[in-house]
């Protein structure tokens, strides 16, 4: 019996020792795994020998973070990083950093330092499932090569548009991707000095530029919805840009345009819907060389105040297989020119009054667009106020009935489609 009691005591002592040791280990591991508050989180992040991965609880961490080493910072729905309203909330200056499932609020308000919710510099930085809300700037990738922003929501500050910062910014961020993100109530989504950027499956609304590409060669915008911005997409000084499967709608006001180009080359637009904008398409010295054409194929341009507006010659511009439907003015050329130098063939025009006797789907007579009202508004800009009214509509009707009135020919499609082509965003 004594021997059994001694054995039992030894087992109990060992068990207690193991429990104490395990508890001590758990206490040591817990802060490194799930910091309790913002100060503990900041210390862990700034510790050069800290854990490679930090998991956060469903709570608010009041802190600002500066990440200077490879790290995975993984939250969960409801995890919030709340800044002090000074500077940037999460500032990444390292390669191979991942931020997941974080709500980020509380940036400063200084435009000179571009205070942001998240700012990243490095290679292979990933931000996923983030909600960056009510910061001056949202998410900025700066000198961030091969970086990824995915499945995130950026909402800017609720103030006048001129006082907002950019919602999503890529600057010198070659090979980066923005995918399945929603940006709203911000200034611009900017892609500057960045090559081979992919923007796909995004939604941009209530902002200034849905996307502003400048020196963004070899980049693609795909399957995106840009609604209710001042400008849907504007491309400057860029080559080999593709826009496909995208909705560009509701860009109103004097500067409103679905998509615009300035001094860009080798552009391709395919399967887009450009709907209800002040100007559907605007081209300024694009392309610069006819050897690098701008091609519009299988797009829908509908119910725009002006379907296509040119600021210079249309040489090197190709329109094929597009549907032009119920635009108030099809073509406007600044300076009183015309669009006869465009390569236009095989498009559908809702204004076409020709016929297709052989049933091959192509009109038997060319589509010729002449509009006396456009000539009048070019000569007398104050008359543009009446564009789309019954008065100017009657002017064009008279010009069609009596060609001797002298309406200027603006555009010719020698082989217009007789039926609306099937065009899908997908």
Which sequence spans correspond to the domains of the chain? Answer: 230-371+408-426
16: DSSP letter = H
Strands (E), 350-397: 367-370
Burial class (CB in 10 A: 0-12, 13-18, 19+), 209: buried
CA distance readout (Å), 112 to 104, 165, 194:
21, 11, 22
14 by DSSP, 3-state: which? helix
Q: How far apart are CA 415 and CA 57, in angstroms?
A: 64
Q: Give pTM, 2 decimals.
A: 0.85
CA distance readout (Å), 390 to 230, 292, 396:
27, 41, 10
What is the pLDDT tens value at each position of the chain, 426 positions in all? 444 444 444 534 444 344 334 443 433 334 446 899 999 999 999 999 999 999 999 999 999 999 999 999 999 999 999 999 999 999 999 999 999 999 999 999 999 999 999 999 999 999 999 999 999 999 999 999 999 999 999 999 999 998 999 999 999 999 999 999 999 999 999 999 999 999 999 999 999 999 999 999 999 999 999 999 999 999 999 999 999 999 999 999 999 999 999 999 999 999 999 999 999 999 999 999 999 999 999 999 999 999 999 887 678 999 999 999 999 999 988 866 678 888 999 999 999 999 999 999 999 999 999 865 555 555 555 555 555 554 555 545 555 545 444 567 889 999 999 999 988 776
Candidates 231, 241, 142; CA nearest to 195 is: 241
């Amino acid at each position: 019996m004594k021997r059994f009691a001694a054995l039992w005591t030894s087992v109990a002592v060992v068990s207690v020792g193991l429990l104490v040791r395990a508890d001590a280990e758990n206490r040591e591991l817990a802060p490194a795994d799930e910091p309790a508050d913002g100060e503990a989180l900041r210390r862990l992040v700034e510790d050069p020998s800290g854990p490679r991965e930090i998991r956060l609880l469903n709570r608010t961490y009041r802190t600002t973070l500066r990440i200077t080493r490879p790290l995975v910072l993984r939250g969960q729905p409801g995890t919030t990083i709340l800044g002090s309203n000074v500077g940037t909330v999460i500032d990444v200056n390292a390669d191979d950093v991942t931020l997941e499932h974080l709500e980020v609020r509380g940036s400063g308000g200084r435009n000179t330092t571009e205070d942001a919710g998240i700012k990243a510099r490095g290679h292979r930085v990933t931000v996923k499932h983030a909600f960056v809300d009510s910061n001056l700037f949202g998410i900025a990738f700066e000198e961030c090569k091969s970086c990824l922003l995915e499945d995130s929501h950026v909402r800017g500050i609720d103030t006048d548009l001129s006082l907002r910062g950019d919602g999503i910014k890529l600057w010198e961020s070659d090979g980066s991707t923005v995918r399945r993100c929603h940006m709203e109530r911000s200034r611009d989504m900017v892609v500057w000095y960045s090559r081979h950027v992919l923007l796909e499956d995004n939604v941009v609304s209530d902002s200034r530029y849905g996307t502003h590409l400048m020196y963004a060669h070899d980049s693609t915008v795909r399957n995106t919805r840009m609604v209710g911005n001042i400008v849907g997409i504007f491309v400057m000084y860029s080559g080999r840009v593709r826009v496909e499967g995208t909705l560009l709608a509701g860009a109103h006001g004097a500067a409103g345009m679905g998509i615009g180009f300035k001094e860009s080359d080798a552009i391709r637009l395919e399967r887009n819907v450009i709907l209800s904008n002040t100007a559907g398409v605007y081209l300024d010295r694009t392309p610069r060389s006819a050897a690098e054409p701008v091609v519009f194929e299988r797009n829908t341009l509908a119910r725009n105040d002006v379907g296509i507006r040119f600021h210079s010659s249309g040489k090197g511009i190709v329109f094929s297989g597009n549907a032009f439907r119920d635009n108030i003015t099809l073509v406007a050329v600044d300076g009183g020119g015309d669009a006869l130098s465009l390569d236009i063939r095989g498009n559908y025009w809702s204004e076409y009054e020709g016929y297709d006797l052989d049933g091959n789907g192509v009109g038997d007579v060319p589509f010729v667009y002449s509009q006396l009202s456009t000539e009048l508004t070019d000569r007398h800009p104050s008359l543009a106020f009446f564009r789309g009214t019954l008065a100017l509509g009657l002017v064009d009707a008279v010009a069609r009935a009596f060609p001797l009135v002298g309406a200027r020919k603006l555009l010719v499609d020698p082989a217009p489609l007789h039926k609306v082509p099937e065009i899908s965003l997908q």
